[in-house]
Amino acid sequence: MGVFSKIGRVITVLMPEGLVAKLHPDRPTYRGAMIDPKAYAVGRLVEVMRPPGGVPDVEEGREMLRDVGKKFDLRVPVSRIEDLEIEGADGPLKARLYADSSGANQPAMVYFHGGGFVQGDIESHHHTCAKLAKWSGYTIISVDYRLAPEHPFPAAPEDCVAAFLSIIERAEALGIDPANTGVGGDSAGGCLAAVVAQQLAAKGGAKAAFQVLIYPVVDGNLATPSVADMPGDAVLPTEVLDFFLSSYLGSWANKNDPRFSPIFGTGFVDLPEAYILTGGFDPLVDDGKAYADKLEAAGVAVTRKFYPGQIHGFISLSKVIPQGAEALHGIADWLKSRK
């Protein structure tokens, strides 16, 4: 595709939602819903920006995700942003604290970024975490866990459990309430948040007070109908999903290990209340639904939020997809309601 066509798709992404809807009235449908106009525009842009072969080089992909956060996520001012060093499973990890409320003993969420276990860091999700802190009044602590393929499974879940416990140990110094600190994350980070909640419940001692799972991947077998239905998804095609999960799995053979696929965990009755967000045009939509079903079957309180026209990653595209900001406001409102 020529450079002018690419420019045209960039321009379309930046257009008002109503105009995009008029330009593309016959957008794709899935399970009775039509894709959101701005989500459709973003998907068309992603298609032409993806490198030949479909899967970006690891370092190139990491830089692209940081760039997306800088260009397409709304910015809000937060009164306190502090870089930290916390303990991981095999040494110190970078973390970043966001707070817009003063005082001691604040409610908090430890946040694990998305990026397929291969991409993402505290920079790629900087504006997302800042908005959550601003709009919820919670302290948000974003964790830079180790990434694959350099550090395959189980490095990431081990880091995330260790990071949560390290943060709880420093709760007084950080100004947070250890009894009201939960976990959250998007995509791969949603998987890790679910795993941390399970691991903490099984270990005894400090536990997550809640879990916020944003379009999580919870079954590494990638065997759901929505994955099968969307092999050529613009944002998360099957070839990219396979690349991410094979890079993360490394030499590990058991995809049903609950630390890799938390849908296969046990002890769900001991897990904390959950907020689970999914999008209808996301190959992972059935993952989030299945996990919510399993939690509810165990008697865990679950708040579900479903955006039938949305794509994977839309909360981090709030500058160009209005429902991204709406979704984050919804999470923030839920957090405020349980203070």
Domain edges within the chain: 1-49, 58-337
Q: Kindly report, residue by residue over 89-120, the tens digit of the pLDDT.
A: 999 999 999 999 888 899 999 999 999 999 99
Q: What is the mean pLDDT of residues 76-81?
A: 95
Token pair recorded at residue 136: 């919820």
Helix ranges restricted to H, the chain = 3-14, 17-23, 37-49, 58-72, 126-136, 155-169, 171-174, 188-203, 225-229, 238-249, 285-297, 322-337
pLDDT-derived band at 6, boundaries 50, 70, 90:
confident
Q: Is 282 a catalytic residue?
A: yes
| Residue among 73, 186, 233, 282 flagged as catalytic | 282
| Residue among 187, 226, 261, 316 flagged as catalytic | 187
Q: What is the pLDDT of residue 2?
A: 54
Q: What is the pLDDT of residue 101?
A: 84
CA distance 330 to 339: 15
Q: What is the CATH code for 58-337?
A: 3.40.50.1820
Q: Kindly report, residue by residue over 55-74, the tens digit of the pLDDT.
A: 888 999 999 999 998 889 99
| Residue among 126, 127, 151, 312 flagged as catalytic | 312
Q: Is 187 a catalytic residue?
A: yes
Mean of all residue pLDDT scores within the chain: 95
CA distance 9 to 109: 36
Q: What are phi and psi of 331, to 5 degrees?
A: -65, -45
Q: Kindly report, residue by residue over 142-198, the tens digit of the pLDDT.
A: 999 999 999 999 999 999 999 999 999 999 999 999 999 999 999 999 999 999 999
Q: Kindly report, residue by residue over 267-303, the tens digit of the pLDDT.
A: 999 999 999 999 999 999 999 999 999 999 999 999 9
